[in-house]
Chain A
């Protein structure tokens, strides 16, 4: 993950649900309450902040909050992905689904989740490659459009790369025919 990678920065800003373990005064505005945050308050925090607070532990006490799985990686979504990766519109779940997934895999030891995500990515990548090749001649018609709208950011950049290759080869072929 590069320091200048805009997608990585945006992934950092994705909100994840957390539960506070400690009493935090003067931060009530995060939860629209006049008093401070009580232990057990559920709150959505950006990933960079939540990750730091979840891993921080001051001395003997426990971490200030507990991190939960974001809804885009919930059991329901994962089950749907396991059933048919192609039918899920990943973009609706989260624009940076894989990015968030990678960060969650770093924090939690979820081997099964990792396997499902990898399988999803590979299966959908094949489809992305097909659409990238056929995007110009329109032979797939409208049926591909819905799938392409549901691509999340990693898949979009993959589509762009694949399409770039196909397009430049096609451009060369056209040029040879003309010259």
Chain B
């Protein structure tokens, strides 16, 4: 029997992963460092800002022991810029994900964090500081939608102009969902291209996965016989010009 769950992550799983994102808080009480599986949290001393996992931040927020600093991309101006970019500047593509974090060295050059060196690991979303107050504005991180929803639900008093942010997020979500729908128009000529999903958030992926894979599957089925005959033709033609130089003949 097939697995009852659809392929890919369901929204609650995506949200669970999102809770690993680090977020900047301003603690109101002291809290000693906690040893967690993911590493020890910094010991909290008000009014020093610290980065802690989102789930812990939400817990402290609910107990009124901390205030959350929303990341710069969740401000009204940044969201307006993003919507402008999505609708006017680039109505077909996705806005790019935030650039990798860079740090300036003493000589005035910027270089990527943890690049170079043999044992450097390349960090991916939950381990990148993409939702802390040091995140760049004007770029949506991987977990933008679920992060913003959770913050709006539990810490809306910490977000400046929360109701504006909420309606802008709705707009952004709709614009991008419409883009996802129109992006399948590229399949009209058959499944030979690649769909770039760079910059698409985790929740958007989980939302549209069934639809997009369904369309691709249908196009593939409709093109299956044409594809088979094309392959046959190619094989026949390949048999005709055998004297084409291949890699073996090049004497490498």
Instruction: Determine whether the beta carbon of A105 is less than 8 Å from that of B225.
Output: yes
Instruction: Determine whether the beta carbon of A121 is less than 8 Å from that of B218.
Output: yes
Q: How far is the CA of A176 from the CA of B16 in the complex (A)?
A: 12
- B172-227 contacts to A, CB under 8 A, are 177-178, 180-182, 184-185, 187-188, 190, 203, 206-211, 213-215, 218-219, 221-226
Residue B11 CB within 8 A of the other chain: yes
Instruction: Determine whether the beta carbon of A121 is less than 8 Å from that of B219.
Output: yes
Q: Which A residues lie within 8 Å of B207 (CB)?
A: 165-166, 168-169
Residue B32 CB within 8 A of the other chain: no
Q: Which B residues lie within 8 Å of A133 (CB)?
A: 177, 181
Residue A149 CB within 8 A of the other chain: no
Instruction: Determine whether the beta carbon of B188 is less than 8 Å from that of A118.
Output: yes
Residue A76 CB within 8 A of the other chain: no
Chain B residues proximal to chain A, CB less than 8 Å: 6, 10-12, 15, 146, 149-150, 153, 177-178, 180-182, 184-185, 187-188, 190, 203, 206-211, 213-215, 218-219, 221-226, 229
Closest 6 CB pairs of A and B: A161-B210, A162-B211, A172-B11, A169-B207, A105-B225, A129-B181
Of B6, B218, B221, the most chain A CB neighbours within 10 A belong to B218
- A132-179 contacts to B, CB under 8 A, are 132-133, 154, 157-158, 161-162, 164-166, 168-169, 171-173, 176-177, 179
Query: Size band of the A side of the interface?
Result: 35 or more
Instruction: Determine whether the beta carbon of A118 is less than 8 Å from that of B210.
Output: no
Q: How far is the CA of A98 from the CA of B224 in the complex (A)?
A: 12
Instruction: Determine whether the beta carbon of A102 is less than 8 Å from that of B224.
Output: yes
Instruction: Determine whether the beta carbon of A168 is less than 8 Å from that of B11.
Output: yes
Q: Which B residues lie within 8 Å of A1 (CB)?
A: 221
Instruction: Determine whether the beta carbon of A165 is less than 8 Å from that of B209.
Output: yes
Indicate whether A118 sits within 8 Å of B215 (C-beta atoms), given known contacts A102-B225, A109-B229, A126-B182.
no
Q: Which A residues lie within 8 Å of B182 (CB)?
A: 126
Chain A residues proximal to chain B, CB less than 8 Å: 1, 98, 101-102, 105-106, 109, 111, 114, 117-119, 121-123, 125-126, 129-130, 132-133, 154, 157-158, 161-162, 164-166, 168-169, 171-173, 176-177, 179
Q: Which A residues lie within 8 Å of B225 (CB)?
A: 102, 105-106, 114
Q: 15 pairs across A/B with beta carbons < 8 Å?
A: A98-B222, A102-B222, A118-B223, A129-B181, A158-B215, A161-B210, A161-B213, A161-B214, A162-B211, A165-B206, A165-B207, A168-B206, A168-B207, A171-B11, A172-B146
| Minimum CB distance partner of A169 in chain B | B207
Distance from A129 Cβ to chain B, minimum over Cβ atoms (Å) = 4
Q: Which B residues lie within 8 Å of A123 (CB)?
A: 185, 188
Instruction: Determine whether the beta carbon of A165 is less than 8 Å from that of B210.
Output: yes
Instruction: Determine whether the beta carbon of A129 is less than 8 Å from that of B211.
Output: yes
Instruction: Determine whether the beta carbon of B15 is less than 8 Å from that of A162.
Output: no
Distance from B91 Cβ to chain A, minimum over Cβ atoms (Å) = 15
Instruction: Determine whether the beta carbon of B222 is less than 8 Å from that of A168.
Output: no
Instruction: Determine whether the beta carbon of B203 is less than 8 Å from that of A169.
Output: yes
